[in-house]
Amino acid sequence: MLPRTSSLAPSDDLLPGVRVFLADETHYPSGSHKEPAARAIVARAVADGHDRVVVGSCGSYGRAMATACATAGVRCTVVLPADWGDSGAFAAATGADVHFVPGGYEDAVGASHRLAVSEGAMDGNVDGPYKDVIFEGHGHVIDSLYHELGPAPASLWIPVGNGTTIVAAHRRLRALGWPVALHGVGSPGNNPIVTSWPGLYQVLPRDAVVTTEHNEPLVNWHALHGPDALAAIDASGGAVHAVADDELLAAQAMLARQGTVAGAAGSAALAGLVAYVRTGSVRGDQIVLLSGR
């Protein structure tokens, strides 16, 4: 059974005058808010008779999948970019096979698609054949929030990389009939969801993005669910916001002061809300999704 992970605490003191709820997704064993999606994939792998799941990752989805696979006794291969990503040590410690490929995140995902085919393994990538299972897994947190907050309108702030979490949230919100405005928060200039908003999705030149140790999970030159994420945000009545590394770190420190240990990128949603509050446009309850990695 999964540990309880979405501890929702009203945090009036975080932003005076604004009712902020923390959707704390930091407590999974891997530290990643991607773990429920990974667990959904592993459950399907077992049901479909796969003994190995292959994913590409810059770090956190790989950690989540390696953790979920180890729990279920399913083998796991994590493909990481040699240019930038985590060391693979966490995934390896769970028993996963870790491969490095030249290039960045998108190259690792491409290589992992090919590896899954050549090994006859389950392709667990967010843009792979089981992406609907991933969306369902990510939707669990929405059910949990709905259960705790009820049907009143709200805004939900989510960090954006590929836009997978945003698309999944939108699907589940629509299914529940819960009117929640989705706000995606990314790194300025470093993600096409951020640079395309509010227009049509346009991929960035590969060398246009700047990765740092803080913004890394938010950086993509191609966001794998970019067009759908833009459409979801628009349809929900929300918007896309950009926060620089110093704003990520300030939000992370703010959370640490009240006892929540989130990653810098995992604090992006709060950083986006903090910046938006300064515009004086915030109305109603604000929910902030946090991730540990």
Ligand X SMILES: Cc1ncc(COP(=O)(O)O)c(C=O)c1O
Which residues sit at the interface with ligand X, rule CB under 6 A?
A: 32, 34, 60-61, 159-165, 217-218, 263, 265-266, 291, 293
Nearer to ligand X, 144 or 165 (CB): 165
Q: Are 216 and 207 in contact (CB under 8 A)?
A: no
Nearer to ligand X, 11 or 292 (CB): 292
Minimal distance, residue 279 CB to ligand X, in Å: 23
Minimal distance, residue 121 CB to ligand X, in Å: 21
Nearer to ligand X, 5 or 60 (CB): 60
Q: How far apart are CA 290 and CA 293, in angstroms?
A: 9
Minimal distance, residue 289 CB to ligand X, in Å: 9
Q: Which helix (H) or strand (E) holds 21?
A: strand 20-25
Give the tokens for residue 169.
């949230």
Q: How far apart are CA 257 and CA 280, in angstroms?
A: 25
Taking CB atoms, the residue at the shortest distance from ligand X is 161
Q: Are 52 and 119 in contact (CB under 8 A)?
A: yes
Nearer to ligand X, 42 or 51 (CB): 42
Nearer to ligand X, 6 or 32 (CB): 32
Minimal distance, residue 33 CB to ligand X, in Å: 7
Minimal distance, residue 78 CB to ligand X, in Å: 13
Minimal distance, residue 206 CB to ligand X, in Å: 18
Nearer to ligand X, 77 or 190 (CB): 190
Question: 279 — alpha (psi -120 to 50), left (phi > 0) or beta?
Answer: alpha
Question: Where would I find the H helices in the chain?
Answer: 35-48, 60-72, 89-93, 105-119, 131-149, 164-176, 192-196, 226-236, 245-257, 268-277
Q: Is 151 exposed, middle or buried (0-12, 13-18, 19+ CB in 10 A)?
A: exposed
Nearer to ligand X, 116 or 218 (CB): 218
Q: How far apart are CA 117 and CA 195, in angstroms?
A: 33
Q: Are 86 and 63 in contact (CB under 8 A)?
A: yes
Q: Alpha-carbon dihedral of residues 126, 131, 136, 140, nearest 10 degrees?
A: 0
Minimal distance, residue 36 CB to ligand X, in Å: 12
Minimal distance, residue 239 CB to ligand X, in Å: 15
Nearer to ligand X, 28 or 276 (CB): 28
Nearest partner of 170 among 162, 178, 222, judged by Cα: 178
* The residue to which tokens 């709905």 are assigned: 146
